[in-house]
Structure 1
Amino acid sequence: MDQEQAQVLFKEGAVFVFLDVPVGTEFGIDYNSWNVGPNFKGVKMIPPGIHFIYYSACNKEKDSAPRTGFFYNFKQREMVVRKWDKLTEDISPAPISDEEIERFIQNKQELDRYLGAYPYESYKKWVSLTNHITPQLVGQIQPENEKISAVTEFISESSTTQSRRDAMELSESKTDSEDSRLPKMETKPETVIRYSHIPKMKYPPGASPADITKYSMDSSYMLDSILSDRFSTNWNGILGELQFAFVCFMVGQNYDSFEQWKYLVHLLCSCEEAIQKYSNLYTQFISILHFQLQEIPEDFFVDIVSQNNFLTGTLQEFFSNLESSSADDKLKRRGSKFQAYLTKTFKWDFSTESDEYAPVVVSTD
């Protein structure tokens, strides 16, 4: 970053002040993370817009706790102040007064030497991975507690002496006594990421046998259902959710987000009718996948993404649907270039049809 650009960011960029963070704690913003030192008090020169902040407590042996993070839409010149809670090893829920924030603003020059500079050299990559995520989308999808956790938080049903006695008697009468003695656990509702649900119907109500067969292979009706019910037919929303899920599983280490990312990729790839209908959506979809696949570590491909041939089979289906659709030539050329890029970069073979994605005729009997 040149001096002129640095001066502009210092003046116009946002500041995240993070107080009382223990030495050694992992702290990150976007695709950059560090273990903080004794003088750490936050990050300066943050470009305005959506960012992902995360942290993990570390013990003396330098073992890190599961990550916790949150999205925040930084305004120009905004100063955000948070404090660490040593008891919970998390951000303190106690609000910061306007007077305290104003004192930090007035002492910005003095505070400056305790703030790390936002790594601007990686900002372009961050934008390419989040350009469809809007503040409205974040509010719609993020959990009610506004935190993304790498570990699912559970609550157990309340019990009484009688209910525990009844459960014990019931468990002794079952062969799987160990499982039946475990308390019933449910995910804390306020921690659940509110992703789009999978439509139950793959085809329109009252569909003919021919349409049932068609939409059982072509997910266009399911895509239209999500766009209509969730995003008021705004296709940018589903692309934003795709990016949201990717950031949450790659940076936030949230496994449910990986499952949602896989579902959305497969949904979009298994459409044929929608490719022609939403040409701009699919142009952007190809661009999003191009940037996302560059960020997935090689060992991640081997261990998870390539498991059961997920990506190669799904993308093979997409390229086949694109080629057989009535999409415009510009989109088809873009798809062809993307296929060639994947073949060259990852050595993926799209020439042989996978049995998993072979055509299936659905019986209506």
Structure 2
Amino acid sequence: MKVAIVHEWFSGIGGSEKVVKVFHDIYPEAPVYVLIHDKHKMPEEYNNMDIRTSYLQKIPFANKIYQNLLPFMPGAVERYDLSEYDLVLSSSTCCAKGVITKSDTLHICYCHTPMRYGWDLYFDYLKGKNKFMQWIIASQMKNIRIWDRLSADKVDYFIANSNNVARRILKNYRRESRVIYPPVDTDFYTPSNKDDNFYLIVSRLVSYKKVDIAIEAFNKLGLPLIIIGRGPEYKKYKKLIKSNIKLLGHLSDSEVREYYRRCKAFIFPGEEDFGITPVEAQACGRPVIAYGKGGTLETIIEGKTGIFFYKQDAESLIEAIQKFEKSSDDFDKDFIRKYAEKFSVNRFKNEIISFIEEKIYEFKNL
């Protein structure tokens, strides 16, 4: 059986890239089709894959401006010739699911989310743009949204990374999906006996992650907070923080793991489709204080592995932190760790293999 893997782009490591890595572990001979490949931002294990890029790779500075190439991505994806493959696995947050396959090729899409800036985050995407840019974006996004909806019909079977995303797949595409939670490396992220008194955030520093809410809250509380990550908001946040907050930038996975292991609790102020970092923190035995919306409702047990706050503002977060300060001894490290193991890589791999085998049989007997 000839297999191809399709992903949007290789421009850094996130949860979706880790899904691709497991797909490739299952099918090591499969080529990986991506729109853009920035080899300087990808680990060697990814760069060693048989990576096949789109024509967008040839555009000058494509690795830096790829997000501005959205209007060209549907056409680029449809130019992949996948006619020789029996099975296509797409890992999609945007356009990867839109590949064209033959009638006898099985296409399974692992959907991390429907295109968020085309649907539920559309108006957030427009914020901060001038009137002319809003008009340009609106005129282009209308056609992209139509393509996105129609491209869902090219998928034979959908997998959603959470019940949260499954609901959006049903709403936006009118398609059913099977929920298989993404892989978390619980063999790597493990507890230790080291304890410290700081709170922790691990995040890309972009506006929708709402790290500014945590900065405002900890500026008022005066409690120690460590923020790990880089992004376009880094310089802005650097100016906002007081002396109790440290902004460390990018760190290696091993360094991040040490901070997970030692922190008092992990802070997660954004809304995510699933949210890998809260599970990584729990795998290290640490409780999570999270915004109670989106994927966190499926990965955190209130009062057992974490605490929720339900208004996405500093005051609500402060109340949750103060509640945690009074009850921190009630959280059991071993219980939290055991709970996180249900999101392991091996569990994900086994569920994916089982799903593929089931759908191959079903597809052949339609």
* TM-score after normalising by structure 2: 0.26
Larger Rg: 1
* TM-score after normalising by structure 1: 0.26
